[in-house]
Structure 1
Amino acid sequence: MLLASVMGSVALPATAQENSSQNPAAVTSDAAGPEIEQGGDIIVTALKRNTSLQETPISISAVTGESLANSGVQSVADLAASVPSLSFVDAGPSQRRVVIRGIQAVGEPTVGVYYDETPVTGSIGTTNDAGGTTPELKLFDVERVEVLRGPQGTLYGSGSMGGTLRIIYAKPSFETSGAADATISSTHDGGINYEFNGVINTPVVDDKIAVRAVGFYRNRNGYIDNVALGIKNINDEKTYGGRGMVRFTPTPDLTIDAAAYINRSRVDTPSWNPRAGKYNSDALVRQPIIDNLNLYSLTAAWDLGPVEATVIGSYLTRKLSNTTDVSRYIRTNRTPTACAALANGRAPCSATQLADFYTLVDSQSTSTLFPQQDMNTLTGEFRLSSSGARSFNWTVGGFYSHRKSNVTNPQVNADPVSGNIISPLQTSTVRFIDDRLTQLAAFGEVSWDITDKLNLTAGARYFNYEKRIVGETTLGSILVGARVTPPTHVKSEEHGTVLKFNGSYKITNAVMVYAEAAQGFRPGGANQVLGLDAALTPYLSDSLWNYEVGIKSAMFARKVLLNVDLFQIDWSDMQVTGRTPNGAFSYITNAGAARVKGVEAEMTAHPFRGLSIQVNGSYIDAKLTENQANANVSAPGLKGDRIPFVAKFSAGANAQYSWPVSERLGGLFRIDVNHVGSSFSDFRPAATFTRKVGSYELVNIRVGIEGDKGRWGAYLFATNLLNDTAITRATSSGLQVGETFVTSAAPRTIGLNLRTSF
């Protein structure tokens, strides 16, 4: 049953020509080579050289630009339906954590996210949780997405503990072309949405310089009503920006790509409270999220004959602002008991003391935490790789990254009628954080085809992390337990080595088996000062060993591709969430070990011309292998408890059929189905702040008509066709006074999509 329901997101089109009818970029070549080879298989560059997807001896999935467009993928979170073991802890735009194979934890990202050759991480925030705010660039004009499961530190500059997600955009080509895409839709419980995307490519100097420019704008009407403030559709979302690329080939052997990515996002926090009603929020303040991201990169690839040299440099800036309503938490302190505990050393307050304390509470009774995060990251990588078809292949390289983050986190008052933050700011408490992370690494792999059937690969990575943090609280508050603290300096440094071993054997030209053992590592650090005891501030690195075996096969003259793998991951010194005694604030600590066991599978079938079927799925058993012996963790997990936000079973499937309507017209029908199993928000299912995240199913359909050679297309579509209340995240904390807040997929949305290209 598992095998039948599990395989697929490879998303292979029938031919490269069919691919181009859906996405003008889909068959564009990048510096590494074309995406689709003769015979329909996908060419990937995951091993830093061109390899066929089916002959790449690792757990990897690839999704084409055509499949992204036809399945309605808008953001990285939408990719989960197409790739086994890929999931997201999804709190909405700018607040998503990427998870592969159940390696889900706070702190630095467990998954390396790359846009082209550039690794990106989220902002640290006040909880040092850079993995929880993955930067999201628009997925338009994408050539393909590659998802590598398992540790990848021996080939990728930015080490990844659970896997790597690569978004590869179309590159400039030396011909004039362009495309436009417009969508209008309506969301149940919401309103009208519209979106425009466009791309133009043109040569500037024949065979020397070409440019490619992309622009996009999206306005999505909200569907959540704030019943406390009387605001309908409070979570309106606007996303806009662009991407500019220049390709310079001064000689046939040298390719230089320069790119600028600009992304702007505006949305009110898309969370709601089930107690207030479906898609209803009762927050007492507005909670906007403003995300301004700029990414600049320069990549040079130089073919030196038997060796290819690649140099990559990038600079990322991000300004992220969000809010958290603390009004109800503040109001719970308006009691004699709270006055005694917080203001009078636990002795009963006098009438005068009580009146003064109530005045203090009332002055902050409508307020919010308002962190302002300013991050910039400089990265550089240099690598040398063998080139050409040979039995011995190798890659060696060096990597440097310096990330600087400044965070200002005040608690400020808001207008009780409108919910807007009062300007100028009325600040009750504030802390400042200066966080700097420097990473140096040397990495390499060697791969040897001992025979035409047997291959052995080994890799190693040496790393050095240094983290420096300065934190201070200049204005304290007894109501939230924040004490005034002078600038406090904390430094942590770690170095070490991770290893990888892989072996593969081609039983036939159509069947290959492989086995791999690889280490993953994530640095430790220190929590920013929040009036905690110094002993609670540092946290240690965590690491894992990933073991797997897999099979890749092609059947029935390559009309069916079937890939299956089994894996086990042993994870030690897990970085987990601890809480302050009042339950209001979280931080990172270490507790326990876990084992993750699972099976992943994917299948693509082309039963007859025009029909493509893909199925994928995973079963993941992710549990603690020992009790969490750490008093700083609220309700410490016990042996056998599941890792939070990891569903046991997830699966996705899609079918697409294209047929001729007339000599110049073609028809298209596509259906996508996604199932995600249930999970919990913390280790202990019955703990105070643990919430269950239920299972859900999403169904999307698309039907349309296309012009001659794919020059235009018109499509009707529906997402979340069954209008399922698909909750993607559920949380609670001391700040939320026992409430549950959830985020969910948008309700049923029906629309019209128009495309044209030249």
Structure 2
Amino acid sequence: MVGLDTRLVKIARGKRLMLLTATALAGIGGPAFAQATTASADTGGDEIVVTALKRSTNLQDTPISISAVTGESIANSGVQSIADLNSSVPSLAFVDGGPSNRRVVIRGIQAAGEPTVGTYYDETPVTGAIGAGNDAGGSTPELRLFDVERVEVLRGPQGTLYGSGSMGGTLRVIYQKPTFATEGAVDLSLSDTRYGGLNYEGSAMVNVPVVNDKIAVRAVGFYRNANGFIDNTALNIKNINDQKSYGGRFLVRFTPTEALTIDAAAYINRSRTDTNAWTLTSGKFKSDALTRQPVRDNLELYSLTANYDFGGVVLTGVVSYLDRDLDSVSDVSRFIRSTRTPAGCAARVSAGQPCSTAQLDNYYALVDSQSTSALFPQQTMKSWTAELRLSSDGSGPLNWTVGGFYSDRDTSVANPQSNADPVTGAIIEPQQIATVRFIDDSLRQVAAFGEFSYDVTDRLNLTAGGRYFRYNKDISGQTTIGSILVGAVVRPLSFVKSKEDGTVFKFNGSYKVTDNVLFYAEAAQGFRPGGANQVIGLAQELTPYKSDSLWNYEVGLKNTLFDRKLFLNVDVFQIDWSDMQITGRTPNGAFAFITNAGKARVRGAELEATIRPTAGFTITGNASYIDAKLRENQSNANVSAPGLKGDRIPYVPKFSAGIGAQYVWALTDTLSGFARIDGNTVGGSYSDFRPTGTFTRKIDSYQLVNARLGVEGPDNAWGAYLFVTNLFDDTAITRAQSSAIAVGRTLVNSAAPRTIGVNVRTKF
């Protein structure tokens, strides 16, 4: 679909075979990307402690499907945000619409609406902004992954401990915390992207004790300037998708007593770019958009966490505040121009009868006045969350966690269609508005949860958990300026409420077959809140929809073999999904909304492994097979092209795999050599349920390979590296879409072309 010639097709097939073969030889998996330097084979050198169960457990002894990517591996593989983790973790994927427009997906639970994956930065859950389509899951915040302790990915529902956003799984980023020692780190990179230009970025950290053993601060800052690689041929602008991002975080740790620890944190993130979508028929990395389509994302997150150890029981309290302003622009010029026909006039002006000459002239003048225009949604989100919980410390046969959770999220959206300058493509200021609607959305959630785990014997453990939840959603909307061209009618301010309460449960049993082999089985439930849309073009513009829910059944095996030289984990699962929330469109195809339709079933298997054949040499990998299909025909009067039984869930590839190999060796008494290669393959998928649908597009499979070669100083105190991302310069399309707005065109997003650069880093 990207017009590759025969030579490139052969290269792509050869790389796919190479990746699959290497993955198979590696044992297919990667539970941790653990200690990616000269990890020793002794027991103490490679244990990874995770806190996914709200208490500390060793990764291989945690009886759930969980992967942990260490901060060291994140740095060594060049990962910058959560969107770069998909090659490191089985069943983790992203519907990638570019910066500030990505959806996190685990195990194929992919749908518009509230997130299906709970994303946490430290103890704070975050969501995207709802936008005009009520799609909070489609713009997950992506904070910089520098100075990270680890990232934990929990697969399958985590509703008992992590709540409504975790029906498919949970992704947790745990940053390094202040320590009572003076230390710092600097990381600098300079690179060049094919079809683009020079990129430069830098990150730095400094940690300072203020009062010995009582108060310490840790400050992190970053700046990134990435040259674009997409040319806009309509506006004659090269590298239109330049991206700048900057920000940091400031953390304070206060330990007034040995039992009490208080952490305060502020996270700041700023991003500026133009959409990185390009038009397939215009040529590779060519956009024919008639307007500029900038994306501006300002995020601030503040949190306060306190832990008090009573001796055997730990009390944790968390409160956080998220403030996010997200503006974006999408070109609608061609859709407006496509209405400039006698038939368009008849349908919109004279009730289907041919327009008179005067009517046609006036109608054409109206179309011409909006012929270069764009939707310009501007949204502000403010969210409070709080959690209070008690947990055992894991020292006895009975371990437990009980707690309560509260969140209050308010979002305001202004969504005008505004005229743009036909020469520059920029939105004209002051704005010339053709139509505008306003949406205010408030979601409040409260929950009580508990999970209890008991060691029946020294090998058998049984766990049960539950969560009671209640949510209230209040939506108001109005259309103050109408437009016959898009079917927008002036509507007064109206309100709708949606509320629901219920319970979710989890049951888990695990058995240590030997000290190094753990078997577990689990049944767990997940849910997502419902709500209501404010949609132009429907008779009932505030259209309600219900919550959806699922049950996940799985069994798994965790193996630690050959004196800890091989970690091999495998699991199989089945997910039954009911009342699934899907995307519908208004009859004219111009506006999207959320509705419920049908059931789905997801069956799959996951493998992950780490192999350390010799000192300094580590091979990691992962693979997943996911068969995600509808169990019945979708039946809903609001859906114009419903899916049928057997149709695959959109954007869910059947097979994906990743592999990484790293070798560190002595060059001299003080210098070490470093070499690493990472690769992943992602199978094909469709953009909608019906493969033959008018707007459905096929997304082909792709493969990506990154490599890094360098020299490191004593104790890894400094390093200098050459690196390349997308080594074979694949045109890896990650998302393809079409709609009535696109007027027959296919818009795609893709991985960046081959980028070659140098990286230096030091710590002190």
TM-score (norm: length of structure 1): 0.97
The range that moved more, 535-544 or 245-254, is: 535-544
Letter of the 1:495 partner, please give it.
D
The range that moved more, 10-19 or 599-608, is: 10-19
What's the counterpart of residue 276 of structure 1?
282
The range that moved more, 533-542 or 344-353, is: 533-542
Other structure's SS at 2:637 match: coil
Whole-angstrom CA distance in 2 between matches of 1:273 and 1:57: 46
What's the counterpart of residue 737 of structure 1?
743
Whole-angstrom CA distance in 2 between matches of 1:389 and 1:15: 31
1:612 alignment partner, one of 611, 618, 625: 618
Conserved? CA contact 1:485–1:531, under 8 Å: no
- How far did residue 539 of structure 1 move? 0.6
What's the counterpart of residue 56 of structure 1?
62
Whole-angstrom CA distance in 2 between matches of 1:319 and 1:76: 20
1:699 alignment partner, one of 705, 729, 739: 705
What's the counterpart of residue 488 of structure 1?
494
Task: Give yes or no for the alignment of 1:443 onto 2:449.
Answer: yes
Task: Give yes or no for the alignment of 1:121 onto 2:143.
Answer: no
Whole-angstrom CA distance in 1 between matches of 2:493 and 2:318: 36
Conserved? CA contact 2:405–2:448, under 8 Å: yes
Conserved? CA contact 1:551–1:564, under 8 Å: yes
- How far did residue 157 of structure 1 move? 4.8
1:317 alignment partner, one of 310, 318, 323: 323
Aligned CA RMSD, in angstroms, stands at 1.4
Q: Percent identity at matched positions?
A: 68
Q: Provide Cα deviations, 1:125-174, integer angstroms capped at 9, x if missing partner.
A: 01110000001111111110000001111112555100000000000000
Whole-angstrom CA distance in 2 between matches of 1:437 and 1:38: 46
Whole-angstrom CA distance in 2 between matches of 1:197 and 1:535: 47
Letter of the 1:233 partner, please give it.
N
- How far did residue 642 of structure 1 move? 0.2
- How far did residue 738 of structure 1 move? 1.3
Whole-angstrom CA distance in 1 between matches of 2:167 and 2:57: 23
Task: Give yes or no for the alignment of 1:106 onto 2:128.
Answer: no
Letter of the 2:550 partner, please give it.
L
Conserved? CA contact 1:15–1:40, under 8 Å: no
Q: Provide Cα deviations, 1:625-667, integer angstroms capped at 9, x if missing partner.
A: 0001123223211110000000000000000000000011000
TM-score (norm: length of structure 2): 0.96
Other structure's SS at 2:161 match: coil
Whole-angstrom CA distance in 2 between matches of 1:98 and 1:379: 21
What's the counterpart of residue 603 of structure 2?
597
Other structure's SS at 1:498 match: strand
2:184 alignment partner, one of 178, 182, 195: 178
| Structural mapping, 1:353-752, within 5 Å | 353-534=359-540, 537-752=543-758
Whole-angstrom CA distance in 2 between matches of 1:276 and 1:571: 39
1:190 alignment partner, one of 192, 196, 199: 196
Q: Provide Cα deviations, 1:507-538, integer angstroms capped at 9, x if missing partner.
A: 00000100000000111110014242228701
1:12 alignment partner, one of 19, 31, 34: 34
What's the counterpart of residue 148 of structure 1?
154
Other structure's SS at 1:716 match: strand
Structure 1 residues 236 and 199 mapped into 2: Cα distance closer, same or farther (>3 Å)? same
Other structure's SS at 2:266 match: strand
Other structure's SS at 1:251 match: coil
Structure 1 residues 426 and 515 mapped into 2: Cα distance closer, same or farther (>3 Å)? same
Other structure's SS at 1:534 match: coil
Whole-angstrom CA distance in 1 between matches of 2:348 and 2:203: 55
Whole-angstrom CA distance in 1 between matches of 2:71 and 2:744: 44
Other structure's SS at 1:733 match: coil
Structure 1 residues 244 and 18 mapped into 2: Cα distance closer, same or farther (>3 Å)? farther
Conserved? CA contact 1:473–1:529, under 8 Å: no
Whole-angstrom CA distance in 2 between matches of 1:711 and 1:536: 58
Other structure's SS at 1:47 match: coil
Task: Give yes or no for the alignment of 1:292 onto 2:314.
Answer: no
Letter of the 2:254 partner, please give it.
F
Letter of the 1:333 partner, please give it.
T
Whole-angstrom CA distance in 2 between matches of 1:536 and 1:528: 5
Gaps of 5+ in 1: 20-35
- How far did residue 388 of structure 1 move? 4.4
What's the counterpart of residue 38 of structure 1?
44
- How far did residue 39 of structure 1 move? 3.6
Conserved? CA contact 1:488–1:529, under 8 Å: no
Other structure's SS at 1:234 match: coil
Conserved? CA contact 1:16–1:40, under 8 Å: no
Whole-angstrom CA distance in 2 between matches of 1:254 and 1:535: 52
Conserved? CA contact 2:665–2:674, under 8 Å: yes
Whole-angstrom CA distance in 1 between matches of 2:731 and 2:541: 43
Q: Provide Cα deviations, 1:286-323, integer angstroms capped at 9, x if missing partner.
A: 00000000000000000011210000000000000001
1:162 alignment partner, one of 160, 168, 171: 168
Whole-angstrom CA distance in 2 between matches of 1:446 and 1:246: 33
Other structure's SS at 1:607 match: strand
Conserved? CA contact 2:576–2:602, under 8 Å: yes
Letter of the 2:162 partner, please give it.
Y
Whole-angstrom CA distance in 2 between matches of 1:62 and 1:388: 20
What's the counterpart of residue 26 of structure 1?
none
Whole-angstrom CA distance in 1 between matches of 2:161 and 2:97: 31
Conserved? CA contact 1:15–1:39, under 8 Å: no
- How far did residue 94 of structure 1 move? 0.3
Q: Provide Cα deviations, 1:221-241, integer angstroms capped at 9, x if missing partner.
A: 000000000000000000000
- How far did residue 6 of structure 1 move? 2.8
Other structure's SS at 2:411 match: strand
Query: What number of residue pairs does the alignment pair up?
Result: 742
Letter of the 1:506 partner, please give it.
K
- How far did residue 708 of structure 1 move? 1.5
Letter of the 2:327 partner, please give it.
S
Q: Provide Cα deviations, 1:596-652, integer angstroms capped at 9, x if missing partner.
A: 000001000000000000010100000000001123223211110000000000000
Structure 1 residues 112 and 635 mapped into 2: Cα distance closer, same or farther (>3 Å)? same
Letter of the 1:387 partner, please give it.
D
Conserved? CA contact 1:681–1:730, under 8 Å: yes
| Structural mapping, 1:255-270, within 5 Å | 255-270=261-276
Whole-angstrom CA distance in 2 between matches of 1:239 and 1:657: 32
Conserved? CA contact 1:183–1:194, under 8 Å: yes
Conserved? CA contact 1:472–1:529, under 8 Å: no
Whole-angstrom CA distance in 1 between matches of 2:586 and 2:312: 58
1:93 alignment partner, one of 91, 94, 99: 99
Q: Provide Cα deviations, 1:231-264, integer angstroms capped at 9, x if missing partner.
A: 0000000000010000000000000000000000
Whole-angstrom CA distance in 2 between matches of 1:385 and 1:199: 32
Whole-angstrom CA distance in 2 between matches of 1:613 and 1:95: 32
Other structure's SS at 1:143 match: strand
